Amino acid sequence: MSHLTTAGRKERRDYQLEGINRRLRKDRTLHGLSTYQRGTLAELKLIGQDLYSDIKARGVMLPNGE
């Protein structure tokens, strides 16, 4: 499925979330979290990755113009 279609983007995002969720389930320090909490943490991690890659791609402008 193409990453340009809505369904393709959703499928790609679901695949990425499943990978993050799998890593979080194996993390012993997060063992006491509920499924909902781990899912929310996975969403936050994915959003953070997206934002970081966007910042790297576009660059960052500091308040002084650099």
In the prediction, which pLDDT does 66 show?
Answer: 65
Can you give the residue ranges of every domain in the chain? 6-49
pLDDT tens digits for 9-50? 899 999 999 999 999 999 999 989 999 999 999 999 999 998
Helix (H, G, I), strand (E, B) or coil at 21: helix
Phi, psi of 4 (to 5 degrees): -90, -20
The reported pTM is: 0.74
Helix residue ranges per DSSP H, 1-66: 6-26, 35-58
CA distances from 59 to 56, 64, 65 (A): 5, 14, 12
pLDDT of 4 strictly over 90: no
Rg (CA), the chain: 16
